[in-house]
Amino acid sequence: MGAYYYASGQRVELERDDEHVAVDRNAAKRAGLEQQIASAPGVAGQRGPMIVTPRDALDKDALAALRQAGALQPVYRRNRAIMVPLPEVRVEFDNKQQRQKVLKVLAEHKLPPHSIVEKSDDRLVIRAESGSGSDALTIANEIYEQAGPPSSSVRFLQFVPKPTLR
């Protein structure tokens, strides 16, 4: 089964983009690997803590070191958009019963290791302890499918490439 997420109660399929990788610049820097990504094509023009580059722009050793440092995130496509799931899940509730159902799923279901980093009466923010966007997708989907809150969604970075003009 492929990757997916829920939007407005509908399951949305994602296509894995194996030609690209997303690199968390902060994690790479903490591991002393900023030089590993500095020369990759297109990196110089990208701003922010996450960059997307062709997988073949990084050699095998660089990819292995970045993976070991937890600096790589999966890349998916949805239509023309390039989507990078971040390791954060936001869950919203309408009432106490929904909140209790979500907490029960978090406690009783076999989910990737996670922690609640923010909570209020109408919202939880959960972080996948692995730092993996794939683990966050698993957590968000399991919560939505088992507890049925109004929203259980991964935070995505989304890029829509400019069409090439001819």
Predicted TM-score of the model (pTM)? 0.87
**DSSP characters for 30-91?**
HTT-HHHHHTSTT-TT--SSEEEEEGGGS-HHHHHHHHHTT-EE--EEETTEEEEEEEEEEE
- Name the fold adopted by 85-159: Alpha-Beta Plaits (3.30.70)
Mean local confidence (pLDDT), 35-59 = 78
Range of weakest confidence among 22-36, 62-76, 79-93, 132-146? 22-36
- State the span(s) of the chain assigned CATH 3.30.70.250: 85-159
Q: Does the structure show a pLDDT above 90 at 134?
A: yes
Say which amino acid occupies 111.
L
Mean local confidence (pLDDT), 74-95 = 93
**DSSP characters for 135-165?**
HHHHHHHHHHHHH--SEEEEEEEEE-PPPPP
First to last CA, the chain: 38
Q: What whole-number distance in Å separates Cα of residue 135 and Cα of residue 128?
A: 6
Predicted pLDDT at 49: 83
